[in-house]
Amino acid sequence: MRKPINNPFILALRARNLTVEIHHHSAYQIVLSNDTPFNSTINGVLYEGIHGFLIKPQVKHFCEAENGTLNVLNIEPYSTIGLELAKRFTEYPEYIVFDTPQETNSFFQTARDSLDIKILIDALIHQLPSIEYDERVTKIADYIKANYFQSDITPQTFSDIVFLSASRLASLFKEQTGSSLSKYLLWTRLRQAIYLTLSDKDRSLTDVAYDTGFYDLPQMNKYMYEMFGMPPKALKFNSDLIQIY
């Protein structure tokens, strides 16, 4: 039995010289400066010259970083990483603000004075409980990675692959990953849709939707806005300023 290599429940973006209007979304979000302190309004409270923040889902916020670069991590709230982050809000009801890189690294236990986003992601993953994944879970994860673009994938599709009932497989997958099969598939599709939107500027958003397994552009628009607070059109418009890690 082996551990799945890919973990689609983290979406990491880098945005430079970008101001984002007030919004909210379903994912946990970590926003950290790569260089210059920035301003943010969170739940109506203005924070100036901060290094970053961690917010719960559905918390309204606004970022202004016109002279610097921000790292943005979006995390599925019911994944194992999301559930681990939830435990950190014992003293903070909805969000945590970081004033310095040292404060950020201390909170995430990265033992660094300067920010390295890849080390921070590794720290999040390494703090999870060690688990030997069931080979049927890894088989489904591999199948989704290779076939996410097929729009006709159903729970029965997965059930037929590993010879388990749909309900038993759903329970096993959620037990081991913290989230559902449908969310795993959705995040895989959204990550790829965002990658194509940012990297293939000549491809239409409708084609991106079809090529990543969504029924149509409205469906992709709905899920992307719901999960990340930014519709595909806004991503494409700002594609010169945003990169996906």
Q: CA-to-CA distance for 81 and 124, rounded, in angstroms? A: 7
Q: Are 169 and 162 in contact (CB under 8 A)?
A: yes
pLDDT of res. 22 = 85
The 10s digit of each residue's pLDDT in 175-217 is: 888 889 999 999 999 999 999 999 998 999 999 999 999 999 9
If DSSP codes are grouped into helix, strand and coil, which group holds residue 182?
Answer: helix
Structure tokens that stand for 130 in this block: 């060690």
Residues 6+ apart with CB under 8 A from 110: 116, 119, 120, 123
Average pLDDT estimate for 226-245? 89
Q: CA-to-CA distance for 210 and 220, rounded, in angstroms? A: 9
More confident residue, 102 or 143: 143
C-beta atoms surrounding 160 within 10 Å: 11
Q: Are 229 and 24 in contact (CB under 8 A)?
A: yes
The band of 7, judged by pLDDT with boundaries at 50, 70 and 90, is: low
Average pLDDT value for the chain? 88
The 10s digit of each residue's pLDDT in 144-168 is: 999 999 999 999 999 999 999 999 9
pLDDT of res. 113 = 61
List the domains of the chain with CATH numbers: 10-126 (2.60.120.10), 135-235 (1.10.10.60)
Structure tokens that stand for 154 in this block: 């159903």
CA angle 33, 35, 38 (to 5 degrees): 50
Is the pTM higher than 0.75? The answer reads yes
Q: CA-to-CA distance for 166 and 146, rounded, in angstroms? A: 20
Q: CA-to-CA distance for 128 and 81, rounded, in angstroms? A: 7
The 10s digit of each residue's pLDDT in 37-58 is: 999 999 999 999 999 999 999 9
